[in-house]
Amino acid sequence: MASATSSRLLDRAPLRLETRVGAVVLDTPVVLAPMAGITNAAFRLLCREQGAGLFVSEMVTARALIERNEETLRMIIPAEGETPRSVQLYATNPDDLAAAVNMIGKEDLADHIDLNFGCPVPKVTRKGGGAALPYKKRLFESLVSAAVSAAKPFDIPVTVKMRVGIDSEHETYLDAGAIAARAGVAWVALHARTAEQFYEGKSDWQKISNLVEHLKPMGVPVLGNGDIWSGDDGVRMMRETGCAGVVVGRGCLGRPWLFRDLVRAFSGEGVRPAPSLFEVKEVLRRHAQLLGSYFAYEERACRDLRKHMAWYLKGFRVEGEIRPKLGMVKNFEELDSLLSQLVDQPYPVEVGDAPRGRRSHGRSVSLPQGWLDDPEELALVDGSDSGSGG
């Protein structure tokens, strides 16, 4: 780790954003990316315990929120002591989005709102939402403007997270970034892949650099997202692109201590933490405890924890049937019994720090009929979901 590099970055940190409670300072310019089925209040608290930053909720749909869907309302409940409280909204209808933002403001449900224009999954893009939506410039502008206007009376900052575009022939990030900046967003976060790429290959950090330069005259900061697997990666992204901060997604799966690593990297410390298996076990058990409090139901907490097991244990030697049994664990007593059988060992840096999470191959993007015909069309799509989004 090059401490001189980290020291140069301190001129850009901490990242400041205006919130309804005044000026909030992020001691480390790091944001936990919303991940469906992952970033619930328990996981956000676990990551927050490891380091400073902003931790965003799972994506929720605006319509489900204003209809007071029970699961959606539970998803935006902050963890104990969580501040600033951050919620990500998804919508394709400006009226729905404005109503959801107004509800958040009136009921004091969040301190920061992020808008999802980056989701590449077919169930979202085929309705014209997520990463497909910025192609429709007027619709995109109406959505962002509706959110910023609705949030203004409550002094809630609104930010945007998006991708490079639908595919290499339909890149939208420069136009969309400028539109969002003119609408008054606090920052724009860019995942440097197209929707077609999904999570394939390497993210193109040059696109982040391009957006930084494009928005510099407007005074709107850009956060970079894509392939942050270590604290060194975060330092390198900021050095190479000039971005104001980084957004971390898949890199923290089974490795919430990545936030601690980022804090160390940005502060210029040269000693990098590498937890042993027993230290990983303690983090895993803490995760289980937080999930138990969040769901108030031990069996459901264990069901949620199962998806994290392979990420926590990646690269470690786990004897016999312990690994598959952990993947099917039913209660905390069984969890503790299995964890007690693990043999301590050093952290497998080469494997443990390798890319993880979704690594789906690129695919054609599912879009509404005729979606690419006219980018200026103010197309209003019924992009609602009956549940919480995703």
Q: How large is the average pLDDT for residues 65-70?
A: 96
Q: How large is the average pLDDT for residues 177-190?
A: 96
Q: How large is the average pLDDT for residues 123-129?
A: 93
Domain residue ranges in the chain: 3-267, 277-346
Q: What are 339-353's pLDDT values in tens digits?
A: 999 999 999 887 766
Per-residue pLDDT at 280 exceeds 80: yes
Q: How large is the average pLDDT for residues 245-262?
A: 93
Pairing relationship of beta strands 158-163 and 188-191 according to DSSP bridges: parallel
Q: How large is the average pLDDT for residues 372-390?
A: 61
Residues in contact with 77: Cβ distance below 8 Å, sequence separation at least 6, in sequence order: 41
Q: 3-267 adopts what CATH topology?
A: TIM Barrel (3.20.20)
Question: Within 13 Å of residue 305, how many CA atoms lie on the same side as its CB?
Answer: 33
- Extract the tokens encoding 26: 């992020």
What does pLDDT average to over the chain? 87
In contact, 185 and 148? CB cutoff 8 Å: yes
* Residue-wise DSSP of 165-219: BSSTTSB-HHHHHHHHHHHT-S-EEEESS-TTTTT-S---HHHHHHHHHHHGGGT
> Using CA atoms, how far apart are residues 261 and 135, in angstroms rounded to an integer?
36
Per-residue pLDDT at 24 exceeds 70: no
119 is catalytic: yes
Cis ω for the linkage preceding 14 (within 30 of 0): yes
Per-residue pLDDT at 5 exceeds 50: no
Query: What pLDDT does 29 receive?
Result: 85
Catalytic position from the list 47, 119, 252, 302: 119
Query: What pLDDT does 380 receive?
Result: 61
Q: Which residues pair with 116 in a beta bridge?
A: 161
Tell which residue, 198, 285, 291, 181, has the closest CA to residue 249. 198
Tell which residue, 40, 88, 86, has the closest CA to residue 61. 88
- What pTM, to 2 d.p., does this model score? 0.88
- The H or E element spanning position 334 is helix 332-339
Tokens 């990242």 locate to 15
Query: What pLDDT does 317 receive?
Result: 93
DSSP symbol at 23: E
Q: How large is the average pLDDT for residues 33-59?
A: 91
